[in-house]
Amino acid sequence: MAKKIFKEIDEIQERDDDALDILKRRLVVVAVIVMIFTSLIIARLWYLQVNRGGDYKELAFNNRVRIRQVAAPRGHVVDRNGKEIVTNRPSFNVVLIREDSHDIDDVLKRLAGVLHVDISELWKRIREATGTPLYIPVVLKEDITWDTLAYLENHNQEFSGIRIEVVPVRVFHYGDLASHIIGYLGIINKKELSEADPEKYTGEDLIGKMGLEKLRENDLRGKKGSSSTEVNARGFEQKLLKSDEPISGKEIRLTLDVDLQQIAEGMMDQEEKSGAVVAMEVKTGRVLVAASAPKIHLDDFTGGISTENWNALLENQKHPLLNKVVQGIYPPGSTYKMVTVLAGLATGAITESTVFNCPGHYQFGNRVYMCWKHTGHGAVDLRRAITESCDVYFYQVGQRVGVDGLAEYAHKLGLGEKTGVEMEHEKKGLVPTRQWKLKQYKQKWQDGETLSIAIGQGFDLVTPMQVALMTATVANGGKVFLPQLVDSVRDTDGGIVDQFHPKLIRELPGVGRYLSLIREGLTGVVNGEHGTAKNARIEGLTVAGKTGTAQVVKLAQYKGLKDENIPYKYRDHAWFTCFAPAEDPEIAVTVLVEHGLHGGTGAAPIAKAILQKYFEARLQAFAKEKEEKKVKAVPGIRP
C-alpha cells in the first residue's frame, strides 16, 4: 500500500520534473531574447554615440552655446571741418528667439500689449522669418522707448525667448543734407548677400544702398564682433564664454562744407526748385557743395522704403531720386561759349581782336539764325561777345572751327566724359561729332547744326558737375582736376588711414593767354554794364561767370508767351556758372535750375549766396575797411 503511494508520489514527482524541464528550456529561449535586445540597444548606442556622435556633439553645442553677432558701429561721416553729418545712436529692438520660447502665443499676447502693436503684426514678422534657423532672432519691433525697455528688462522672466538687441542706427545731424551724396542703408538683399563675403555679412545685416554709404561700404562698415554665451534650455544666459569686441567703421571726412551745402540746399528748397548746385575749389578739385534738389528724405529709406513712398518719388516730376549733380544731363546753353571761344582762339580761327558784326541774326545757307538780342549788338569783339553773350559772334566762330574742333576742346575741358567724382551712375553727357552723328543717326552732319552747338544748344548734353569742372579749368588756367568728395578716411581715434591729394587729370598746354581772355569776358558778364549776370555781383569781390539758358523745347507756340504762362515742364533750364575772385580764382560755383528760365535771375542768386558765405571773412574785412574810410572822410568834409 505504502509502496503504491510512494510510487504514485514518484510518478507525480517525475511528471513535475518533466514540466519543470520544459519551462527551463523556455527560459533559455528567454535568455536569448534578453541578449538580442541587449545587443540591439548597444548597437543603437554605437550608432548614436560613435557613428553620429560628432553630429550630436555639434547639436549639443548649438543647444547651449549661442553665438551672437554684435553689430559694429558704422563709421561717421563728417564735413571738411569735422562737423558731424551722420553718426549713430543705439536703437533697442525687441527680438524673439523662437527656439527659446516655450509659449509663443502667450508671450506675444502680452508683448503686443506692452509694445502697443497688434498681435497680427508680430505674427507677420515671425511668419516672414519662416525657414531660417530657430536660434536666429526675429526682430519684432525696432527702436522701442526707454520706458518699454525698462519694463521688458524688469519682467524678462515672463517673456521667454524675448530679448533686447542693441543696434546702432544712423542719425542725420543736418536732416537730409546732401542726401543723394550720403545715401542710405537697407537690409541686405539676396543678390547682395550672394555676392558678399559670407564672413562679413549675414541675412539681416544692413548694407549701403546708395551714395557714399554704398560706395564707401568697406570703410564705413567696420568689423562685427561676436559673443558666445552659454544658455540653458529656457534661453537664459548662464555665462559668457568668449567675446570679440566689434571694431567701429572708419570715419569718412568729406570735402563738402556743411555751411555752404546748407545755403545751396536751403535756397533750392525755399523756392521748391529742382536742379543742382556744385561748388569746387579750382586749385584742387575738391568739391565744396554738391546739392541735388529736391532732396530725398533719408529716414523714409531706413529699414526699407514703403511702396507708397517709392511710387510717389518715381512719379514726382521733379525726379527727386535723381542725383542731378552727375545724373542730370542738360544742354549747356551759353555756358558752352567758353568752349567755343577757347576752340576759336586755340585753332586760330579767331584772335582776340577779331570783330564780327551782329545785326541781330545770322544767315547761314537758306536759314536765318537769330541772336537772343533781336535788335543786334553791332560790331562785337571777343570781350563784348562773351559779356553780352552775342550769339551771332559765336555762330561765326563755330562755323570757322567746325563741329569736330569744338568737340576736341569740349573734351579737353572735361565735357563728354565722366568726371570721375565719387558718385554713382555718373552720366558722361554728349559732345557731338560728325562721326557720332553718322553712327547714331546714319546721317551726314549738317553745317547748320554746328551753329547750334557753338551756343550750347542742339545735341550737346552736360552734367552740372562737368560744367563746374569746366569752369574751374578755365579759372585755374587749364588744369583739369579729378573732382574729389572724400578728403580722408580716418580711424576712430582720429588717425588718418587714407588722405586724398588733388589729382590732376590733364593740363591744357599753351592756352593760358586764351583762358585769361575768357576770364576777362566772364568778369564782364557779372560786372560789366551790359552783363547778363549782374545779380551775382558782390561788393568787395570780383565774380566772373556765365549765364546759360538750356532750351527744353523749341515749340513756336510758347515763343511769344510771358514766362509765367509757359507750362512748367516746357520752361527753359537756367544755368549760372562762375568763379571768384576773378583775379586769382579760388572757387567755382555752378547752379542749374530746371525750368528756371533765366540764368541771371533763376540761378545766379544761389551762386552769389554761396560765394558770400565762402568769402565771408574777406567781405567783412572789406566792409570794415570801407566803414573806416568813411569815418576818416567825415572830418575832412566838416569845416
Partner 1 sequence: MFRIDRRLFANFDWVLLLLLLLICGMAYFSLYSATYPPKPWGMPLYLKQCYLLLIGFAGFLFLISFDYQELLSWNYPMYGLIIILLIVAFYMGKSAGGAQRWINLGFMKLQPSEPAKLMLVITLASYYTRNEVIDGYSLKDIGIPILLTIVPFVLIMLQPDLGAALMLGVSFVSMTVFVKLRLSTYGILSGMAAIVGAFGWIRVLKPYQKQRIETFFNPETDPMGHGYQILQSKIAVGSGEMFGKGYMKGTQGHLHFLPERHTDFAFSVWGEEWGFAGSVFFLAIYFFMLLWGLNVAISARDRFGMLLAYGIVMLIFWQAVINLMMILGFLPVVGIPLPLFSYGGSSLLTTLFGMGILMNVRMRRFQTSSAKE
Q: Look-up: residue for cell 510771358? A: 562
Q: Is 618 in the site for partner 1 (CB under 8 A)?
A: no
Pick 43 or 438: Cβ nearer partner 1? 43
* Binding of partner 1 by 232 (CB under 8 A): yes
C-alpha R_g of the chain: 39
DSSP string, 143-164: S--HHHHHHHHHTGGGSTTEEE
Residue 46 or 568: which CB sits closer to partner 1? Answer: 46
For residue 114, the minimal CB distance to partner 1 (Å) is: 23
- Applying CB under 8 A, does 132 fall inside the site for partner 1? no
Which window, 190-198, 233-241, 291-299, 515-523, contacts partner 1 (CB under 8 A)? 233-241
Q: What element of type H or E holds 265?
A: helix 258-270
What count of Cα atoms within 13 Å lies in the side-chain half-sphere of residue 51? 7
Residue closer to partner 1 by CB (options 229, 551) is: 229
- 538, 526 in Cβ contact below 8 A? no
The residue behind cell 533697442 is 92
Q: Could you tell me the smallest distance in angstroms from the CB atom of residue 174 to partner 1?
A: 50
From 224-232, 282-290, 345-353, 377-385, span contacting partner 1 (CB under 8 A): 224-232
In whole angstroms, how close is the CB of 39 to partner 1 at the nearest point? 10
Q: In whole angstroms, how close is the CB of 159 to partner 1 at the nearest point?
A: 16
| Amino acid code (one letter) for 523 | T
The minimum distance between CB 41 and partner 1, in angstroms, equals 5
Distance from C-alpha of 375 to C-alpha of 74, rounded to nearest angstrom: 62
CA 273 to the chain's CA centroid: 20
Place of cell 542693441: 166
Measured from the CB atom, the residue of 102 and 513 that comes closer to partner 1 is 102
Among 120, 145, 202, 238, binds partner 1 (CB under 8 A): 238
Helical (H) or strand (E) element with 218: helix 217-221
The whole-angstrom separation of Cα 328 and Cα 318 is 11
CA 606/CA 264 separation, integer angstroms: 6
Output 49 or 306, the one with its CB closest to partner 1: 49
Sheet holding 65-70, edge to edge: 65-70, 225-231, 237-244
314, 321 Cβ separation under 8 angstroms: yes
Residue number, 13 or 309, with CB nearest to partner 1? 13
- Per-residue binding string, partner 1, 136-165, x by CB under 8 A, is ------------------------------
User: Cα(501)–Cα(186) distance, rounded to whole angstroms?
Assistant: 31
Is residue 242 involved in binding partner 1 (CB under 8 A)?
Answer: no
Q: Which segments within 264-321 are labelled E, that is strand?
A: 275-281, 287-293
Q: Show the binding pattern over residues 53-92: x = contacts partner 1 (CB under 8 A), - = does not.
A: xxxxx-xxx-xx----------------------------
CB 496 within 8 A of CB 489: yes
* 322/556 Cα distance (integer angstroms): 30
Other C-beta atoms closer than 10 Å to the C-beta of 185 total: 22
The smaller minimum CB distance to partner 1, of residues 41 and 496, is found at: 41
d(Cα 610, Cα 600) in Å, to the nearest integer? 15
Beta strands in 42-83 (DSSP E): 65-70, 77-78
Site for partner 1 in 91-120 (CB under 8 A): 102
Strands (E), 33-144: 65-70, 77-78, 84-96, 138-141
> Residue 30 or residue 553: which is nearer to partner 1 going by CB?
30
Output b/e per residue, 92-127; b: 16+ Cβ within 10 A.
bbbbbbbbbbeebeebbeebbebbeeeeeebeebee
**102 or 624, CB closer to partner 1?**
102
Judged by CB under 8 A, the residue of 71, 108, 231, 469 near partner 1 is 231
- DSSP letter string, 275-289: EEEEEEETTT-BEEE
Q: What is the smallest separation between the CB atom of 130 and partner 1, expressed in angstroms?
A: 13
Q: Which residue matches cell numbers 529709406?
A: 301
The answer to whether 471 and 477 have CB atoms below 8 angstroms apart is no
Rounded to 5 degrees, what are φ and ψ at 395?
-55, -45
Residues touching partner 1, count (CB under 8 A): 42
| Residue (53 or 378) nearer to partner 1, CB | 53
- Which residue number, 61 or 441, has a Cβ lying nearer to partner 1? 61
Bridge partners of residue 86, in order along the sequence: 77, 172
In the bound state with partner 1, the residue whose beta carbon lies nearer, of 132 and 306, is: 132
* Burial (CB count within 10 angstroms: exposed 0-12, middle 13-18, buried 19+), residue 317: exposed
Name the minimum Å distance from CB 16 to partner 1.
7
Beta carbon of residue 498, minimum distance to partner 1 (angstroms, whole number): 47
Please tell me whether residue 304 binds partner 1 under the rule CB under 8 A.
Answer: no
For partner 1, which is the closer residue by CB, 231 or 550?
231
Residue 133 Cβ vs partner 1, minimum distance, rounded to whole Å: 12
Given the complex with partner 1, which of 18 and 272 has the nearer CB atom? 18
Least Cβ distance, residue 107 to partner 1 (angstroms): 13
- The distance of closest approach from Cβ of residue 61 to partner 1 in the complex, given in angstroms and rounded to an integer, is 8
Q: Which is nearer to partner 1, 63 or 542 (CB)?
A: 63
d(CA 258, CA 610): 11
For helices 146-154 and 104-115, what crossing angle results, to 10°? Answer: 150
Q: Which of residues 10-49 bind partner 1 (CB under 8 A)?
A: 15-16, 19-20, 22-24, 26-28, 30-31, 34-35, 37-38, 41-42, 44-46, 48-49
Q: Is 555 in the site for partner 1 (CB under 8 A)?
A: no
**Using the rule CB under 8 A, is 5 a contact of partner 1?**
no
> Long-range contacts of range 117-123, CB-CB < 8 Å, 24 or more positions apart?
117/141
Nearest distance in Å: CB 161, partner 1: 11
Q: Which is nearer to partner 1, 52 or 513 (CB)?
A: 52
Q: How far is the CB of 229 from partner 1 (least distance, A)?
A: 12
Identified binder of partner 1 from the candidate list 8, 10, 11, 52, rule CB under 8 A: 52
Q: Is 502 in the site for partner 1 (CB under 8 A)?
A: no
Whole-angstrom distance, CA of residue 285 vs CA of residue 108: 57
Min separation Cβ 202 and partner 1, Å = 23
Residue ranges that bind partner 1, judged by CB under 8 A: 15-16, 19-20, 22-24, 26-28, 30-31, 34-35, 37-38, 41-42, 44-46, 48-50, 52-57, 59-61, 63-64, 102, 230-234, 238
